Amino acid sequence: MKLTLTLAVALAAGSLLAGAGRASAAKGQAAPTPVSVVMHDPGCHWFSVNGKFTRTLAVKGPAILSNLDEATLDIVGGPFGMRAAPIGKHVVLARGTYRIVMVGQARDDNILTLLVK
């Protein structure tokens, strides 16, 4: 009886420690920072941050970029080179500096700069 109780206590303690390890590992991973690119004149596309529009933005990484513009976005930079973000889709971005332009944009449209720290 004493051996069974000792074994049960040891198993319970082990499961608590395993749960704590998973919790601390999950805590170490940061949730992606949401970044929205929206259509707004003049200049066509902008980052939307708390109801304000800006052409440059710095966020803690990783970032999840949402394309709410009227065309596909080309994202150049970071560890992946060039990526495309279709309309209404999300792209996860790691650390790096990114230049974001709309496919087929006019020369006078905005070029957005995103720094993911």
Tokens at residue 7, please?
């074994």
C-alpha span between 33 and 90 (Å, rounded): 12
Q: What is the CATH topology of the domain spanning 33-116?
A: Immunoglobulin-like (2.60.40)
Is the model's pLDDT at 16 over the cut of 50? no
Q: Where are the domains of the chain?
A: 1-30, 33-116
Evaluate whether 46 touches 27 at the Cβ level (below 8 Å). Answer: no
Is the pTM for the entire model greater than 0.75?
no
Q: Write the pLDDT tens digit of every residue in 79-114.
A: 888 999 999 999 999 999 999 999 988 888 899 999
Cα dist from 108 to 41, 43, 58, 115, whole Å: 12, 7, 23, 22
